[in-house]
Amino acid sequence: AQKITQTQPGMFVQEKEAVTLDCTYDTSDQSYGLFWYKQPSSGEMIFLIYQGSYDEQNATEGRYSLNFQKARKSANLVISASQLGDSAMYFCAMRAGSGYALNFGKGTSLLVTP
Amino acid sequence: NAGVMQNPRHLVRRRGQEARLRCSPMKGHSHVYWYRQLPEEGLKFMVYLQKENIIDESGMPKERFSAEFPKEGPSILRIQQVVRGDSAAYFCASSPWTSRTLYEQYFGPGTRLTVT
């Protein structure tokens, strides 16, 4: 069985600061992919970043980076230099093995304050 | 290149009515996935379709829910005799193929269904 756990229901960060959103996962598959999505108040799901289980380097996309610690089964999202527009729900998701469905965590609500 | 389109964006139905949600995948995409998001929850997989085929419907409720992706036209998620518990956001995603790339699943804006 696959499971994604996001333990932080809500987070606050000041503008221009960095913030880390936690995600742990559980799977018995050796091949899997980890994703982060952003869901602003308007409701759409915006893809942010992807990490493959065999990727040796941590993924980075602009201000987003994924701190991938395979032995600990964690895939934390780091947002550097937070902006007010980063205020949103953030979901960690996993796709494992030969499956195609994404399994999502419950999300973390991030509020960026001035 | 237009993204995944879903309509309607908001749908209100009374208990017992039928709800039809439509999803047009991105151009060139032949794989469609439906997810449901209950309030304050993450998305839950419902069904995966290719053109004219249901590949995996393991996440679909056994009754009242059905999905199709015809050769021509959008994918349809149909909910018969809706109940209040069906109130949720329904997201469609599409991908060009199922491959080891794993990450090419693009989401539409969602349909918010409210059952009164």
Which of B45, B89, B108 is the closest to A101 by Cβ? B45
Distance CA B92, CA B69 (A): 12
Q: Helix, strand, coil: what percent of chain A each, to 5?
A: 5, 55, 45
**Bridge partners for B114 per DSSP:** B12
Nearest Cα neighbor of A20 from A63, A54, A50 is: A63
In this structure, the dihedral spanned by the alpha carbons of residues B45, B49, B53 and B55, taken in order and rounded to 10 degrees, is: -40
Which residues on B lie below 8 Å from A4 (Cβ)? 42
Average pLDDT score, chain B: 91
Which chain B residue is nearest to residue A32, measuring alpha carbons? Answer: B102
Model confidence at B63, in pLDDT bands (50, 70, 90)?
A: very high
Model confidence at B98, in pLDDT bands (50, 70, 90)?
A: low
Bond into B8 cis (ω within 30): yes
A100 with B59: Cβ contact below 8 A:
no
Which of B55, B102, B107 is the closest to A45 by Cβ? B107
For A19-77, how does the pLDDT look when each residue is reduced to its tens digit (9 = 90+)?
999 999 999 989 899 999 999 998 888 989 999 999 889 999 999 999 999 999 999 99
Nearest Cα neighbor of B92 from B38, B40, B49 is: B49
- State the Cα angle at A75 between A72 and A80, rounded to 5°: 130
Is 80 exceeded by the pLDDT of residue B2?
no
Which of A44, A100, A106 is the closest to B110 by Cβ? A44
Mutate to test the interface with B, among A91, A102, A106 (most CBs of B within 10 A): A102
Q: What are phi and psi of B77, to 5 degrees?
A: -110, 125
Model confidence at B100, in pLDDT bands (50, 70, 90)?
A: very low
Average pLDDT of A105-109?
95
Instruction: Identify the pLDDT of residue B95.
Output: 86
Is 90 exceeded by the pLDDT of residue B116?
yes
Model confidence at B21, in pLDDT bands (50, 70, 90)?
A: very high
